[in-house]
């Protein structure tokens, strides 16, 4: 993942580097995966057979993982910023300079509020982590913020004067997400939602219920 993150994102500014870069992208992947699993689980739990597996206790466990990745992303993001700010080196400063002194800085503020502060406060609540409606809404919010976060990482290297949005910046992610979700839904429909032939299924259902 470190090699991929460097090739795809860090190479946009070849003279800039960060020792936290690979870890940050791993945390971002986790912060995308867990909300997606929660969203899929809540929606699929409308099926009677799957609802036996996706209980409030299971949702609560996923909520704790969700909270962990929210804090991990915030920790890595702040650690990277702190190291670069403390070092104050001309090779490292431009990356944050472009994202703070222009209108891109507002995107950074939105990410702090909606990708960390709001999810962190909500996920501290045990009842909230067991509420499917709240978790579904929060997962949708974080998944949206993840797309904005990637936009904030990549696009300031193209639009250095401030925020600009080309129509392809919107259409391309939507098209890729639509193709991926279509493939995901096709595979879900071709397979049973729970492993009916697994001899450990009943014991597992009793454990999570």
Please give the pLDDT value at position 198. 80
Q: Provide the residue range defining the domain that includes 37.
A: 2-165
Please give the pLDDT value at position 207. 61
Would 209 be classed as within a structural domain? no
Residues contacting 173, CB < 8 A, separation 6+: 147
**Nearest CA among 52, 60, 111 for reference residue 81:** 111
Would 186 be classed as within a structural domain? no
Q: How many domains does the chain have?
A: 1
Q: In whole angstroms, what is the distance from residue 91 CA to residue 193 CA?
A: 51
Please give the pLDDT value at position 72. 97
Q: Burial, 143: exposed, middle or buried (Cβ in 10 Å; 0-12, 13-18, 19+)?
A: middle
pLDDT tens for each residue of the chain, 209 residues long: 888 888 888 888 888 888 889 999 999 999 999 999 999 999 988 877 777 788 888 899 999 999 999 999 999 999 999 999 988 888 888 899 989 989 999 999 999 999 999 999 999 999 999 999 999 999 999 999 999 999 999 999 889 889 999 999 999 999 999 999 999 999 988 887 777 778 887 777 776 54
Would 172 be classed as within a structural domain? no
Q: In whole angstroms, what is the distance from residue 51 CA to residue 49 CA?
A: 6
Global confidence as pTM: 0.90
Would 87 be classed as within a structural domain? yes
Would 144 be classed as within a structural domain? yes
């Amino acid at each position: 993942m470190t090699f991929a993150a460097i090739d795809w994102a860090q190479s946009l500014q070849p003279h800039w580097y960060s020792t936290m870069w690979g870890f940050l992208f791993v945390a971002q992947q986790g912060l995308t995966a867990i909300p997606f699993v929660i969203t899929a689980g809540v929606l699929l739990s409308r099926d009677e057979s799957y609802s036996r597996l996706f209980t409030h206790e299971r949702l609560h466990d996923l909520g704790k993982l969700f909270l962990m990745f929210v804090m991990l992303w915030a920790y890595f993001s702040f650690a990277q910023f702190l190291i670069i700010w403390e070092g104050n080196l001309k090779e490292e400063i431009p990356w944050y300079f472009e994202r703070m002194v222009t209108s891109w800085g507002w995107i950074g503020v939105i990410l702090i509020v909606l990708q960390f502060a709001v999810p962190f406060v909500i996920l501290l609540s045990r009842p909230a982590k067991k509420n499917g409606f709240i978790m579904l809404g929060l997962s949708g919010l974080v998944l949206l913020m993840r797309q904005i976060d990637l936009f904030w990482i990549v696009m300031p290297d193209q639009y250095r004067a401030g925020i600009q949005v080309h129509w392809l910046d919107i259409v391309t992610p939507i098209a890729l997400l639509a193709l991926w979700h279509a493939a995901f839904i096709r595979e879900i429909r071709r397979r049973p939602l729970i492993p009916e032939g697994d001899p450990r299924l009943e014991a597992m259902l009793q454990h999570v219920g």
